[in-house]
Each structure stands twice: as C-alpha cells, then as structure tokens.
Amino acid sequence: MRIDCPLCGARDRREFYYKGDALALNRPAADVPAEIWNAYLHLRDNPASLTRELWYHETGCAAWLVVTRNVSTHAILSVVLARDEAAEGMS
Amino acid sequence: MRFSALKILTEGLSGNGGWTPHWGNPDPKPEYDAVIIGGGGHGLATAYYMAKNHGFTNIAVLEKGYLGGGNVGRNTTIVRANYVLPGNSEFYSHSLKLWEGLEDELNYNVMHSQRGVINLFHSDGQRDAAARRGNAMINQGDDAILLDRAGVRKILPYLNFEQERFPIYGGLYHKRGGTARHDAVAWGYARGADRLGVDLIQNCEVTGIDSRNGKVTGVQTTRGAIKAGRVGMIAAGRSGQVAAMAGMRLPIESHVLQAFVTEGLKPCIDHVVTFGMGHFYISQSDKGGLVFGGDLDLYASYAQRGNLPAVEHVIEAGVTLMPMIGKSRLLRSWGGIMDMSPDGSPIIDHTAVEGLFLNCGWCYGGFKAVPASGWCMAHLMATNRPHKVAERFRLDRFETGRGLLDEEGTGSQHNLH
C-alpha cells in the first residue's frame, strides 16, 4: 500500500502511522453529554466500503492526512491535508 | 451416527460406504424460537449449548456463506487460559475446562493438544509481570510455571539466546495450553447442534432485523423472512454491518490480522511459543507446517488479506527468535477480519432492543473462547441473564468507564490493541 502524500508524493505505508476514523476532526465540546463523548471515542460506523481516516506521515513531513480508502480493496481514492479539511469544517 | 473405533474398523473393512453427512441442509422455516446470525465457531457453539443446556431445539443458525468459513477456519488454533484480569480470568478458565472435555462432549476429534504455551520475557520488569500473571492463573485454579533462562533453554534449545535487543530472561509456561484443529471445532459443534434438532441454514444472508415496540420480532434474509423472538448477532468482523440493521453503532473497528504456514516439516517445535516483544508466535501443526503470526496490519480492513510490511515484520521477528526456521519455505499466508474493541476484550450482552443479543469484540483471541462464548451466549439468550463468568463483558463499559477490561494495560481506545 502506498499513500500519495500531498507534500511528499507517493510513499510506502511504513512511513505512516494510522490513527483511525477521521471523526477526530469533529471533537465535541468538553461540556456535552457523555453519550456524545462515547460516540466520539468508541462507536464506529465501521463500514466495509469507503472510509475517511486520519493517517500521520510520521517519517516524512509529519503532516496529518485525511485518506479516503476502500477497506474492502485497500484502494486509496484521495489524500488531503487534515489542516485543510479542518479549516473547511470550521468555515 | 456416532464415531467410535469399532465404527472406523468396520467401515474400513467394508469400503467406507456407511458414512453419512455430518449435518442436514434444511430450508428455513417461517418461525423459530431463536435465530443466531453467524455460522462460525461462536454461533455454532451458541446453538449447540442453547439446545443442549437449555432445551431450545426450535432454533436456527443463519450463515451467509458456508459453516466455519470465516475466522474459525482462518486462525492459528491456539487454546490457552493465561489471563489476569477478573472478568477475563474466570471466563477463559471456564473455556479451557470445556476444551478439555470437548471431544467426549461432541463425539468428535478436534485434535485438542495440550502441548503447552510459553510466553517469553526479556527484562526484569517483564519477569515481574509474568510472575504476577502466573500467580493470577494459579489463583484462578489453572496452571503456570515461571521459567528462568536455563529453564527455557532446556525445553526450547533452538531459540537464539545470544540476541542483544531482546535477550531471553525466561518464560511463563502454561502446560494446559496448546492447540486444536480449528475446522474440526466448527464441524463438531455443527454436527452436535444438528443432532439436537438445530437448523443450520447456509447461503442465507440476513438483510434486515425487525423489531416492534422495542422488541425484536425476526429477521429478513435472502431466503425469506424469519420470525423469532430472540436474535443473537455473532458476526465477528462483520458485526458492524449486522448491528447497523438494528440501528446500532458498535464500539468495534474491523482490522486485518495475517497468519502464515510453511511447508510440512518433521516435528521440531513441540510447544506454542510467543515472542510478544517481537510480535511473533508459532506452533507446529500435526501435518508438520509451522503456523505463525504476529500483530495486526494496523489499519481498518475487510479484505481478508494484508500487506507486505506486516509479512516482513513477522518473519524478521521469527527468524530473530529461532534462526532455524529461516530455511523453511512459506507455503501460504492469509488474513482474517478481527472485531477490535477499544479495550481489547469482548462483549456478550443485551442490546437496547429486547430479545436482541450481541456477541462480538473478540479481537485476535476468539478461537480459544469458542466453547465458553457459546456456553455464555446460550445462557444469555435462553435465560435473559448474563452467565456469571461473562457478566463483565458489558457493552456499556466504554461509556461509563466502569469495568474496562484492558488486559494489556495499554489504554481503552481504538488503535491501541
């Protein structure tokens, strides 16, 4: 598996650390009810098709990436900087 | 048909024409007292014990593929009871006791081999942790022996004792641990359940879960609607898709774990040996193949195959620990889809829908749990109360934070197990 980092180009999977579902970009406020935090921390859609995930380019540029991937085929559809996704989410 | 030495002898002398199918191939009935979604090890064991222990014989197991075609046929067959946390300890202890009587119980040769499991350790701190674990196992009524370096060398002389990175300080020896023939476990439970009247329905995918006024009423399948007042979801890596049909999101991520087998060799590895620091464990099958594996590929996957970095990592660790295996040739590798929970421990519990029960979260340790998981899931589905050795496998422990079962001590969070 190779991931096409927007800053570094296509790199081997070994350079990246996998965080999981990209919902970390939507961190709840500290004072919301426990079930919202439970959903954020633990519950997952866990689809067998397309996922949006956070990967960290640990031994490359150290950027956090949002990778859209098909988890049944391991095909990678898009890779964007998490910074840009987060900025879009807030606008 | 019961198996016996006499039966084998007479069949052998008369052309083996008298063997009959192990189980039937019924069409689904419109209604059952209970249906179990998933015909793997856990689902089949649940059906068997519901019929045997609780008298539920009007039940069905619904399997979208063929019986035992998922993780129960894709694992590395290790059976052990070396857990430390209350909750896990009594459960796996119960499971090992069931394993010890399983062949008599099922009249089926599951090739259960108590050849011993040795977990290696490589520092003073790890030795302390192994001693604590061993004491917990003994307190639970199971067995454990703390081996020093010389003790390990005596029974595993072929290890590389000279390696610098992870010098072998000793090992925790669990003599009652071992292996079993994985397919035979599924087949034995399937045959046992079939003989007790359970309908085993293959090529039958569940496409919907029906409920009314908060109570489950049945399932929709590719072979028609089936009514049932009790439904068990036992779908391992596919648990997320099954639960979604009931409107639930689970604390589960599905990941791929690879395993490997070499060409058949003369007997050379007599135990199960685990090298946790290197991410490697190994045993030798009765056919002679070295069966080994390591850690997850560490990304979500439903592909039932992994990537080469994990292959390289596992084999590097293996050759570091036991250089002699470097000469063997790899026959094949495969991947299974693991239902990973945040704390690394399973869930056997009610859901918010009355009559709908959940069994999942086995991570990469589901095989050894098959007998007790079936036993406890059957108890839950039949009596509506958790079995006492599985009552801590609660679904709500992640939300409340009470009773987390973080056996590895790494934290209760996805991607840490």
Residues of A in contact with B249 (CB under 8 A): 39, 43-46
Q: List phi, psi (to 5°) of B66.
A: -120, 160
pTM given for the model: 0.97
Residue of A nearest to B312 (CA): A14
**B398 and B343 Cβ atoms separated by less than 8 Å:** yes
Q: How confident is the model at residue A23 (pLDDT cuts 50, 70, 90)?
A: confident
Q: How confident is the model at residue A85 (pLDDT cuts 50, 70, 90)?
A: confident
Q: ipTM of this complex > 0.85?
A: yes
Put simply, the chain A residues between 16 and 55 with a CB less than 8 A from any chain B CB are 18-21, 34-35, 38-39, 41-48, 51, 53
Average pLDDT, chain A: 93
Taking 50 as the pLDDT cut, the residues of chain B under it are: none
Any CB–CB contact under 8 A between A9 and chain B?
no
Q: A2-90: CATH homologous superfamily?
A: Folate-binding superfamily (3.30.2270.10)
Domain residue ranges of chain B, discontinuous segments joined by +: 27-113+177-251+345-417, 114-176+253-340
**Residue B154: closest CA among B123, B116, B126:** B116
Cβ contact B299–A19 (<8 Å)? no
Q: pLDDT per residue over B172-195, tens digit each?
A: 999 999 999 999 999 999 999 999
CATH level 2 (architecture), domain B27-113+177-251+345-417: 3-Layer(bba) Sandwich (3.50)
Residues of A in contact with B240 (CB under 8 A): 44-48
In this predicted structure, the answer to whether residue A90 has a pLDDT above a threshold of 60 is no
Mutate one of A44, A45, A76 to test the B interface: name it (highest B CB count within 10 A): A44
Q: pLDDT per residue over B250-278, tens digit each?
A: 999 999 999 999 999 999 999 999 999 99
pLDDT at A45: 95
Record: fold of B114-176+253-340: D-Amino Acid Oxidase; Chain A, domain 2 (3.30.9)
